Chains A and B, each alone.
Chain A
Amino acid sequence: MTDLTKTGVLGQPVVGTAPTAFLEVRDLKVHFPTEDGLVKSVDGLSFTLEKGKTLGIVGESGSGKSVTSLGIMGLHRVGQYGRQRARISGEIWLNGKELLTAEEDEVRKLRGREIAMIFQDPLSAMHPYFTIGKQIAEAYRVHNKVDKKAARKRAVDLLDRVGIPEPHKRVDSYPHEFSGGMRQRAMIAMALVNNPELLIADEPTTALDVTVQAQILDLIRDLQKEFGSAVIMITHDLGVVAEMADELLVMYGGRCVERGTAEKVFYEPRHPYTWGLLGSMPRIDREQTERLIPVKGSPPSLINIPSGCAFNPRCPYADVPKDNVTRTVRPELTEDGTRHWSACHMTHEQRTRIWTEEIAPKL
């Protein structure tokens, strides 16, 4: 059931040469042993990200997008008490330093200082018993040798910067006393308190109303400009990534199926799953079209990922390539020469024809 030849190297990452990019992830795999079998949450993911740029990771639930972020944060290493440990392999290079082979304490010192994270639901992501100010100050003091007073002042400054009115008063509020939007602002303040170089936002606006979402996205964009951070925006909402991301990475079944600039992925998508996502989406900017074009079926189980191309059971074009290859051979992520990667057995010409003739006119 589990493919041992592939997982045999897990836990023994072979460190390659340092890359030049600010962040480079190479062949990242995060597997969780469970009673039902090995959950391959992330199964070979590679990408790079430069400072000041935003990478959007798009996928449905169970595609591995959130586990990727935990892997980069090194959070799979702590909190796995007892026997069930995540198995992780590959390389994560940040600023020329490989994180998977680094000491746990070294990675911990990077967390919150160089890499910070914004979570989906700020109510459950903040401790209910501590004030907002204390939680922000704590994040500052763990990485800076300052007294409580200075840390509190820093918290007030940050709350002010993220647009919380009367920050010197609200600093003593508890999370439940804030509205959802205010809480997410406080969460952002907490993430930015150490001027991180990499900010990972995991569904930062999914729990928020649309007008508040607009405020928060605007805030993140502003702060990114001000701090020059690299941002990884993880979301299921194509609208959010279309506005925020320079580059897009589409995940399916723990792997990247398409990667490229936002422009390329939206206007010349090269993977049938991306077509499906675009066709599934009702559009506010278009008049009511006749029907949506959904992807049939459901996302795969990560314990039992279909052989060959993981998308083949749901793909309307699974029989286009010859010899049943989509069901037996896993397609590699290949670049087409324009920094646009996709993993599909169909030829470039076949896909161009399908997209321009069959899909695009219906969207």
Chain B
Amino acid sequence: MLAYLIRRFFAVIVMLLVITLVTFGIFFLFPKMIGTDPALYFVGKQSDPAAIEGIRQKMGLDDPILVQFGKFVVGLVAGRTYANGSDVTHCAAPCFGYSFKTEQEVWPLLTDWLPVTLSLAAGAVVLWVIGGVATGVISALKRGTVLDRSAMGIALAGVSLPIYFTGMLAIALFSDQLGWFGRPEATFADDPAKWFNGMILPWVSLAFLYAAMYARLTRATMLEVLNEDYIRTARAKGLTEPVVIGKHAMRSTMTPILTVLGLDLGALMGGAVLTEYTFSLHGLGYSAVRAISEHDLPVILGITLISAFFVVAANLIVDLMYAVIDPRVRLS
């Protein structure tokens, strides 16, 4: 087990390095290929050549790509000092560089955006797991009935409708027309009650999409599990149906759901782009879209890496969780 952990840990490190290299390569080679100069982004197009050269020196933009990459990775781990003669700037670890646009360090920006994304994901996940799994189980137990069909019909709609549609609709209906919920404007620190009220619509909209997928997955898995021999055995023991379903069938049904959940959460940590944009939530997803439109390469790189980190970490956690859930996996 320990050997497995160590092996997996190394694999994660290597994978993150490869992702960093590829992203880094794309983002810093690309401007060269299309004939623009990253240094220009820093100083603005009208600057004099000396200033551009100074920035180029300071940022090390003339170094070979691998040297630049090496410095970037060292900066991530140990921090980095940019210098051009007497012009010295220190960037503390983890150093993701400076935003082209605002000339702020990227890392503090990321740590500003991350909590917004986290709170959106956390609230939504509670809603969709409870709603999706419950709907799926009930649908499976009432297979073929009107209840099952309507639930699955709604689920199909939920999977098919894009968030900018349902989100906009929700805002128009519940916020603008009925005035039940506000827009997400306050932060938790400012006013918890207002924050919560503002987050309800984003949570529900995002959760609706996922709940629909989870309901379908739960229903399919549950139906499969109910056909297993060990469910028949559980009934043959004289267990009541609540125990047969709630304990024996649910335990097996949860396995694939937890797997998908881990991966979904990992992906969401990189920002629920559409949801954040629809509700103007300034999280990672929203900021990524803005950074792309502003060609703010260091920010894009930072968000990409942090998203990749969460996806890889989620994968690892899911694999470890497997071993906890399923005793058959423990040996290998």
Residue ranges of A at the interface with B (Cβ–Cβ < 8 Å):
73, 75, 78-79, 81-84, 108-113, 116-117, 119, 121, 124-130, 138-139, 142-143, 174, 176, 190
Which residue of A is nearest B240, CB measured?
A: A108
Q: Which residues does chain A contribute within 8 Å of B232, judged by CB atoms? A: 75, 79, 119, 125
How far does the alpha carbon of A127 sit from the alpha carbon of B231 in the complex, in Å? 8
Contact present for B239 and A138 (CB under 8 Å)? yes
Q: 1/0 per position for B297-329, CB-CB distance to A under 8 A?
A: 000000000000000000000000000011110
* B254 smallest CB distance to A (angstroms): 10
Q: Which residues does chain A contribute within 8 Å of B231, judged by CB atoms? A: 79
Contact partner of A124 among B143, B229, B239, CB < 8 A? Answer: B229
How far does the alpha carbon of A79 sit from the alpha carbon of B328 in the complex, in Å? 27
Residue of A113, A116, A127, A176 with most partner-chain B CB within 10 A: A127
Q: Is B259 an interface residue (CB 8 A)?
A: no
Contact partner of A143 among B236, B238, B241, CB < 8 A? Answer: B238
Q: Which residues does chain A contribute within 8 Å of B239, judged by CB atoms? A: 112, 138, 142
Q: List 30 A-B contacts (CB under 8 A).
A: A79-B226, A79-B231, A81-B141, A81-B143, A83-B143, A108-B240, A110-B238, A111-B236, A111-B237, A112-B236, A112-B239, A113-B238, A117-B236, A119-B229, A119-B232, A119-B233, A124-B229, A125-B232, A125-B233, A127-B233, A128-B230, A128-B326, A128-B328, A129-B251, A129-B325, A129-B326, A142-B243, A176-B328, A190-B233, A190-B237
Q: Which residues does chain A contribute within 8 Å of B243, judged by CB atoms? A: 142
Contact present for A108 and B238 (CB under 8 Å)? yes
Give the interface residue-count category, chain B.
20 to 34
Q: 1/0 per position for B216-259, CB-CB distance to A under 8 A?
A: 00000000001011111111111111011000100110000000
Contact present for A82 and B148 (CB under 8 Å)? yes
* B9 smallest CB distance to A (angstroms): 27
Q: Which residues does chain B contribute within 8 Å of A109, judged by CB atoms? A: 238
Nearest first, the 8 A-B pairs at minimum CB distance are A112-B238, A82-B144, A82-B143, A111-B238, A112-B237, A124-B229, A139-B237, A174-B327
How far does the alpha carbon of A110 sit from the alpha carbon of B235 in the complex, in Å? 11
Q: Which residues does chain B contribute within 8 Å of A119, judged by CB atoms? A: 229, 232-233, 236
Q: Which residues does chain B contribute within 8 Å of A117, judged by CB atoms? A: 233, 236
* B45 smallest CB distance to A (angstroms): 63
Contact present for B241 and A78 (CB under 8 Å)? yes
How far does the alpha carbon of A138 sit from the alpha carbon of B328 in the complex, in Å? 21
How far does the alpha carbon of A190 sit from the alpha carbon of B71 in the complex, in Å? 65
Which residue of A is nearest B328, CB measured?
A: A176
How far does the alpha carbon of A138 sit from the alpha carbon of B142 in the complex, in Å? 27
* A97 smallest CB distance to B (angstroms): 15
How far does the alpha carbon of A111 sit from the alpha carbon of B234 in the complex, in Å? 10
Which residue of A is nearest B326, CB measured?
A: A129
Q: Which residues does chain A contribute within 8 Å of B244, judged by CB atoms? A: 78
Contact present for A121 and B229 (CB under 8 Å)? yes
Contact present for B235 and A111 (CB under 8 Å)? yes
Q: Is B145 an interface residue (CB 8 A)?
A: yes
Contact partner of A81 among B226, B236, B237, CB < 8 A? Answer: B226
Residue of B141, B229, B237, B327 with most partner-chain A CB within 10 A: B237
Q: Is B291 an interface residue (CB 8 A)?
A: no
Which residue of B is nearest A110, CB measured?
A: B238
* A152 smallest CB distance to B (angstroms): 16
Residue ranges of B at the interface with A (Cβ–Cβ < 8 Å):
140-145, 148, 226, 228-241, 243-244, 248, 251-252, 325-328
* B111 smallest CB distance to A (angstroms): 40
Residue of B142, B235, B248 with most partner-chain A CB within 10 A: B235
How far does the alpha carbon of A124 sit from the alpha carbon of B326 in the complex, in Å? 15
Q: Which residues does chain A contribute within 8 Å of B238, judged by CB atoms? A: 108-113, 139, 142-143
Which residue of A is nearest B236, CB measured?
A: A117
Contact present for B145 and A82 (CB under 8 Å)? yes
* B325 smallest CB distance to A (angstroms): 7
Known contacts A75-B236, A109-B238, A111-B235, A125 near B144 by CB under 8 Å: no
Contact present for B235 and A138 (CB under 8 Å)? no
Q: Which residues does chain B contribute within 8 Å of A81, judged by CB atoms? A: 140-143, 226
Q: Which residues does chain B contribute within 8 Å of A78, judged by CB atoms? A: 235, 241, 244
Q: Which residues does chain A contribute within 8 Å of B326, judged by CB atoms? A: 128-129
How far does the alpha carbon of A130 sit from the alpha carbon of B237 in the complex, in Å? 15
Contact present for B327 and A73 (CB under 8 Å)? no
Q: Which residues does chain A contribute within 8 Å of B144, judged by CB atoms? A: 82-84
* B154 smallest CB distance to A (angstroms): 18
Q: Which residues does chain A contribute within 8 Å of B241, judged by CB atoms? A: 78
Which residue of B is nearest A115, CB measured?
A: B236
How far does the alpha carbon of A190 sit from the alpha carbon of B232 in the complex, in Å? 14
Q: Which residues does chain A contribute within 8 Å of B252, judged by CB atoms? A: 127-129
How far does the alpha carbon of A119 sit from the alpha carbon of B230 in the complex, in Å? 10
* B223 smallest CB distance to A (angstroms): 8
Contact present for A126 and B230 (CB under 8 Å)? yes
Residue of A79, A126, A138, A174 with most partner-chain B CB within 10 A: A79
Contact partner of B327 among A82, A111, A129, A143, CB < 8 A? Answer: A129
Residue of B144, B229, B230, B327 with most partner-chain A CB within 10 A: B230
Contact present for B233 and A79 (CB under 8 Å)? no
Q: Which residues does chain B contribute within 8 Å of A143, judged by CB atoms? A: 238
* A148 smallest CB distance to B (angstroms): 15
Contact partner of B142 among A75, A82, A126, CB < 8 A? Answer: A82
Q: Which residues does chain B contribute within 8 Å of A125, judged by CB atoms? A: 229-230, 232-233
Contact present for B327 and A124 (CB under 8 Å)? no
Q: Which residues does chain A contribute within 8 Å of B230, judged by CB atoms? A: 124-128
Which residue of B is nearest A83, CB measured?
A: B144
Known contacts A81-B140, A108-B238, A119-B233, A127 near B248 by CB under 8 Å: yes
Q: Which residues does chain A contribute within 8 Å of B142, judged by CB atoms? A: 81-82
How far does the alpha carbon of A127 sit from the alpha carbon of B240 in the complex, in Å? 16
Known contacts A83-B144, A121-B229, A124-B229, A174 near B236 by CB under 8 Å: no
* B291 smallest CB distance to A (angstroms): 45
Residue of B141, B239, B325 with most partner-chain A CB within 10 A: B239
* A363 smallest CB distance to B (angstroms): 36
